[in-house]
Amino acid sequence: MDKPTALVVGVGAELGVGAAVCRRFAAEGYHVLVAGRTPAKIDQVVATITAAGGSARAVRADATQEAEVIALFDLAMAPGPGFAPADVVVFNAGDNRMIDFREVEAALFEAFWRVGCFAGFLVGREAARRLVPLGRGTVLFTGASGSLRGKPGFAQFAAAKAGLRMIAQSMAREYGPQGVHVAHVVIDGGIDGERLRKGVPGIVEARGQDGLLGVDAIAETYWQLHRQPRSAWAQEIDLRPYKEAF
């Protein structure tokens, strides 16, 4: 029996959501296509998976480039002997940093939109093109606090994430009845990952035990979304540590 395949787009540091999702699906017997822009990072994720007995392949891809996304899905739907076409697609690409609105240049705003929203459109469109004719599959989008509300200094980020949320909603309404489960995961809080640890030294200690979202705990939710019976599909779920205000 062919091994099932999952495509995870937007994988970065090993201590990050994308990498954790890759490991979670690999642990369940999936062959995982680990797609990202930085070869060293995705190679490390693959090395960790294979060292644990899993199956994975690193694929360097820029999700803001249409031709590269199409090629990525060509690979995902024909991953090679012994592997079934992908039935799970996860979009996890994004950028986030605080910038005074007055200092946001037009090119920078567009860059945030291209990574956080336009790339999600390209991935979502290709997923629909490949999965809808099969009448099956799961498409998961990574959201954030900015998906729901804009905060000072994060207009460029929130605009992209809010747009991505609408893509997920539109896809879910259109393709859910055709057998494709589309869900949006709002990660509403600080993530205990490489980006936050480097950007805000000491934050883990300051927040205390379980004060930040754990990447493996987040990945568990992605797996459970994929496994949901279609009589009770979630379209959106928000995650936060128990200490996080909302």
User: Residue 243: its pLDDT value, please?
Assistant: 87
Strands 3-9 and 55-60: unpaired
User: Residue 164: its pLDDT value, please?
Assistant: 98
Residue 65 lies in a domain: yes
Write the CB contacts of 190 (distance below 8 Å, at least 6 apart in sequence): 196, 203, 207, 211, 212, 213, 241, 244
CA atoms within 13 A on the CB side of 213: 24
Below-50 pLDDT ranges, the chain: none
What's the predicted TM-score (pTM) here?
Answer: 0.96
Residue 79 lies in a domain: yes
Spatial separation of the C-alpha atoms in residues 60 and 53, rounded to whole Å? 22
Q: Tell me the C-alpha to C-alpha distance, in Å, between residue 208 and each of 154, 188, 202.
A: 26, 17, 10
Provide Rg for the chain, Cα atoms. Answer: 17
Residue 194 lies in a domain: yes
Give the number of domains in the chain.
Answer: 1
Write the CB contacts of 82 (distance below 8 Å, at least 6 apart in sequence): 2, 3
Residue 117 lies in a domain: yes
Q: Domain containing 26 — which CATH number? A: 3.40.50.720
Read off the pLDDT of residues 149-186 as tens digits, 9 standing for 90 and up.
999 999 999 999 999 999 999 999 999 999 999 999 99
User: Residue 54: its pLDDT value, please?
Assistant: 98
- Nearest CA among 188, 199, 184 for reference residue 244: 188
Residue 244 lies in a domain: no
User: Residue 47: its pLDDT value, please?
Assistant: 98
Residue 74 lies in a domain: yes
Residue 246 lies in a domain: no
Residue 245 lies in a domain: no
User: Residue 199: its pLDDT value, please?
Assistant: 81
Domain residue limits at 220: 3-239
